[in-house]
Amino acid sequence: MAGTNGRFITLEGGEGAGKSTQIRFLADHLRRQGIDVAMTREPGGSPGAELIRKLLVEGPGDAWDGTTEALLMFAARRDHLERTIRPALARGQWVISDRFADSTRAYQGYGHGFAHERIEALYQLAVGDFAPDLTLILDLPVETGLARAAVRHGTEHRFESLGQVFHQRVRDGFRAIAAAEPQRCVLIDADAPIETVRDRVLQAVTQRLGVG
């Protein structure tokens, strides 16, 4: 548990799963309940971490191996946690993050084969005894997600370029994480119209955190 006045919610899932879309719905919904919400994202979410994001999400797919990528992700995560997430929670805000540590477990761990115990060792070092109160994992077929992500504009295509087989391992990884940590995680079927996924997200938040 985040262990503060606020709550820490993370949205996870592969490319084009609908994380950014659903975070906006969830934030609007919580704000209508009078909750003070801070939206953030990874990699990034603080000035220092956004600098690292640029290295991670642009350029060729093979720019870094899984180990280097995991180290950069946790360096960014540490800064994000200390400069953005913890201060917001201490102010009593509910923080919703577009990706967090499960993305490192899924992409660098399951995707690139970086050893899980090493990821957990880095987690201990960078994050310590802190975890999301609730993690919503948006699940859908790889092809559907990649097709949705392909229409997104901009230069942040590094992970999309890694291919179907890589992304299938990522999807399987997210599903394994949800199965291994059912108290923290809810697996949401995101292969449905936006409004249906929104209802599933709001239902999960209501059930787990008692709002809505």
Ligand X SMILES: Nc1ncnc2c1ncn2[C@@H]1O[C@H](COP(=O)(O)OP(=O)(O)OP(=O)(O)O)[C@@H](O)[C@H]1O
Query: CB-wise, 2 or 197, nearer to ligand X?
Result: 197
Among 54, 161, 194, 207, binds ligand X (CB under 6 A): 194
Strand pairing category for 94-98 and 134-139: unpaired
Taking CB atoms, the residue at the shortest distance from Mg ion is 20
- d(Cα 203, Cα 164) in Å, to the nearest integer? 31
Is 167 near ligand X (CB under 6 A)? no
- From the list 75-83, 89-97, 171-179, 186-194, the region that binds ligand X by CB under 6 A is 186-194
Interface residue with ligand X, options 116, 148, 157, 175 (CB under 6 A): 148
The 8-class DSSP code of residue 161 comes to: G
CA distance linking residue 94 with residue 27, whole number of Å: 9
Residue 101's nearest CA partner among 123, 75, 125 is: 123
Ordered DSSP codes for 67-96? HHHHHHHHHHHHHHIIIIIHHHHHTTPEEE
From the list 42-50, 78-86, 110-118, 193-201, the region that binds ligand X by CB under 6 A is 193-201
Asked if 193 is part of the footprint of ligand X (rule: CB under 6 A), the reply reads yes
What part of residues 13-32 is at the interface with Mg ion (CB under 5 A)?
Answer: 19-20
Sites of contact with ligand X (CB under 6 A): 13, 15-21, 148-149, 151-152, 192-194, 197
